[in-house]
Amino acid sequence: DYKPGGYHPAYKGEKYKDGRYVLVRKLGWGHFSTVWLAKDLEHHQHVAIKIVRSAKHYTETALDEIKLLKKISCNNLAHRGKKNVILLLDSFIHEGINGEHIVMVFEVLGENLLSLIKKYKHRGIPLIYVKQIAKQLLLALDFLHREVGIIHTDIKPENVLIELGDVEQIVRMVESMEKEKKEIRKLERKQSRSSSQLAASIPTSANSNGSSRNGRRSRRQTLIIGSQPLPSPINSPEFFNVSNNNSSSNNNSARVPSVPIISSNLASAKDSQEQLTNSLNSMSLSMEQSFVSASSTVLDDPMIPEDSETDSENIISVKFADLGNACWYDEHFTNDIQTRQYRSPEVILGGNWGCSADLWSLGCMLFELITGDYLFDPMKGHSYSKDDDHIAQIIELLGPFPTSLLNESRYTREYFNSRGDLRRISKLKPWGLKDVLIDKYKYSSTEAGEISDFLLPLLNINPALRSEAGGMVNHPWLSDALGLQNAVLERPVCGCGEDIPGWCSEVKGHPKH
Ligand code: ATP
Ligand code: MG
Ligand code: MG
């Protein structure tokens, strides 16, 4: 992929835009681009730089992405959801050996929500966070749909990034970690020294950050990154990792625990050269995998604060990123939208779609945050396709497709016979959302009822009747979202977005951009 038309072979120290930006390290990559941390020498701050592949198709897509991002960033409206969408700071062309690359400059953000799902070992993220995330993303969608006229079309955990807090502080931590890493390597080379001498000379982040000797934190202890104290593991140092969008291959659970555990290993390994060497090896491995391992956080079991006295400060903050597939309410670039598991029924059926397609994806994603599992994960069988299975799963969970949707969609006949039954799958096993939450995820009937009352309006099979983002911000399930209790909009709860242009179909005519 690093050939003409492909990715630019960027490297640490490389200069961009006449020396204004200097690359520091890679942050991630995707199908379209590689993303780097860079120092902006003009504004004396760190930024994320997305360097797009140079082939024509990628350049054209990137130019659309920039147009959309500019509309978002230039929008002056004091909408509460604007800060939950990534901001474009700059864009330019970089001439490289593989061609001309569009470059976009963004604020630096942390890991994506898929990492968070993995960090909680696919057992679900605590509801206190899910509610904060849900409310912020609904605010962001209300802003995008109602104020800017943009549909994201690719809402999924990988495309929601967590805010880091004080980026400059974190970068300093990383740099000091790098120094430690070098020192460890030096020590490793001096294997002739006795293990006890070596153990005593290891600089431990645990000590410098004031964490307890055994590296475990109390339930109330939180690490402060910038002004945002968060319960572990959201604040864990690994939230500044190098990661890619296709991070299903990125097995976080296989990661070596971070520094403090290893520090305590070191203490107990005093007498064993072999154990010490192992500890050192895993410590440096851990640091290589992790961008920020400079803090004292242990990748502990998930912890939830016990009381709420400082809870208003425990705000996880998230932003929609990757507007690379987004479009306008009045100019859809393609009908081939949304990642499989988050694809809405109207898109599967080739029907009209609009802003409400984003709410379906959001509903699927929030279920995944709550439970750690996909809501729909269709598979191809011998006698049926992935789409057949997807439709069957939707019917089993949510009931039959509305006739209006069947009547107006292009591919209905492909999947349904004239009686309105699926052509290739006959035995459906209805299992409603509330029962799934009780039977499979062991929620109490009350909690399951509350969660499904919140999710079902987002998962209305009928795109016209699906609830719009602004109204869902006011939903009672989110009224106790920590730090966001006052975030309410003048929109009716569970109202559908009939007043939003392009709500369930493209507005035809002359696009205004
Ligand atoms: P896709 O294949 O999803 O279309 P893409 O090439 O458009 O990918 P992005 O999804 O925008 O690229 O970014 C790729 C990865 O880079 C993200 O998953 C994330 O890990 C990282 N990344 C992107 N933007 C930022 C940012 N502002 N701060 C930190 N990391 C970022
Ligand atoms: Mg992406
Ligand atoms: Mg993209």
Tens-place pLDDT, residues 288-322: 334 433 222 322 333 333 333 334 456 999 999 99
- With the most atoms of ligand 1 within 8 angstroms of its CB, the residue from 34, 35, 36, 84 to mutate is 35
Rounded-to-integer distance, Cα 238 and Cα 235, Å: 8
State whether residue 389 is helix, strand or coil.
helix
Summary count for the chain: helices (H), strands (E): 16, 13
Confidence band, pLDDT 50/70/90 cuts, at residue 78: confident
428 pLDDT exceeds 90?
yes
Q: Are 46 and 38 in contact (CB under 8 A)?
A: yes
Residue 243, SS3? strand
Number of residues assigned to the chain: 513
> Which ligand does the CA of 243 lie closest to?
1
Longest dimension (CA), the chain: 81
Between residues 113 and 258, the one the model is more confident about: 113
What is the rounded (10 degree) CA torsion for 149, 347, 139, 326? -50
Mean pLDDT across the chain: 81
Tokens at residue 105, please? 């400059």
Ligand 1: nearest atom to the Cα of 243: 20
Q: For residue 117, what is the enclosing H or E element?
A: helix 113-119
**Going by CA atoms, what residue is nearest to atom 11 of ligand 1?**
322
Please check the confidence at residue 201 and state whether its pLDDT lies above 90. no
Q: What is the DSSP letter of 331?
A: B
> What residue owns the CA closest to ligand 1's atom 8?
30
Residue 243: predicted pLDDT: 44
User: At 194, is the pLDDT very low, low, confident or very high (cuts 50, 70, 90)?
Assistant: low
| Cα 130 to averaged position of ligand 2 atoms, centre (Å) | 21
How sure is the predictor about 501, in pLDDT bands with cuts at 50, 70 and 90? very high
User: ipTM of this predicted complex?
Assistant: 0.99
User: What type of residue sits at position 301?
Assistant: D
Q: What is the pLDDT of residues 58-76, one digit of tens each?
A: 999 999 999 999 999 886 6
Nearest residue (CA) to ligand 1, atom 10: 322
- The predicted pLDDT at position 196 comes to 56
Best mutation site among 52, 104, 249, 322 for ligand 1 pocket (most ligand atoms within 8 Å of CB): 322
| Separation of CA 324 and ligand 3 centre (Å) | 4
Residue 328: the pLDDT is: 97
Q: Is the pLDDT of residue 395 over 70?
A: yes
Least confident among 72-81, 317-326, 372-381:
72-81
Supply the residues annotated as catalytic: 154
- The predicted model gives 335-342 an average pLDDT of 98
* Cα–ligand 3 centroid distance for 511 (angstroms): 23
- Least confident range from 43-52, 80-89, 239-248, 482-491: namely 239-248
Matching residue, tokens 């990534």:
86
Cα–Cα distance measured from residue 312 to residue 304, given in angstroms and rounded to the nearest whole number:
13
Residue with tokens 């039954």: 421
Which atom of ligand 1 lies at the shortest distance from residue 321's CA? 11
Spatial distance between the Cα atoms of 88 and 231, rounded to a whole number of angstroms:
29
pLDDT (mean) for 236-257: 37
Residue 470's nearest CA partner among 483, 458, 453, 482 is 458
What's the average model confidence in pLDDT over 129-157? 97
The Cα–Cα gap between 100 and 119 comes to 38
Decide: helix, strand or coil at residue 96: strand
Tell me the residue type at 109: L
Question: Using a 6 Å CB cutoff, which residues line ligand 1?
Answer: 27-33, 35, 48, 50, 86, 106, 108-109, 112, 158, 161, 243, 245, 321-322, 324
Among residues of the chain, what percentage have pLDDT more than 70? 76
Cα 287 to averaged position of ligand 3 atoms, centre (Å) = 28
Residue 144 to residue 146: CA distance in whole angstroms: 6
Taking the CA of residue 86 as reference, the ligand 1 atom at the shortest distance is: 27
Using pLDDT thresholds of 50, 70 and 90, give the confidence band for residue 195.
Answer: low
Alpha-carbon radius of gyration of the chain: 24
Note the pLDDT of residue 262.
Answer: 27
User: Is there a contact between 349 and 143 (Cβ–Cβ < 8 Å)?
Assistant: no
For atom 12 of ligand 1, which residue has the closest CA? 30
Percentage with pLDDT > 90 across the chain: 66
For 465-484, the pLDDT digits (tens) are 999 999 999 999 999 999 99
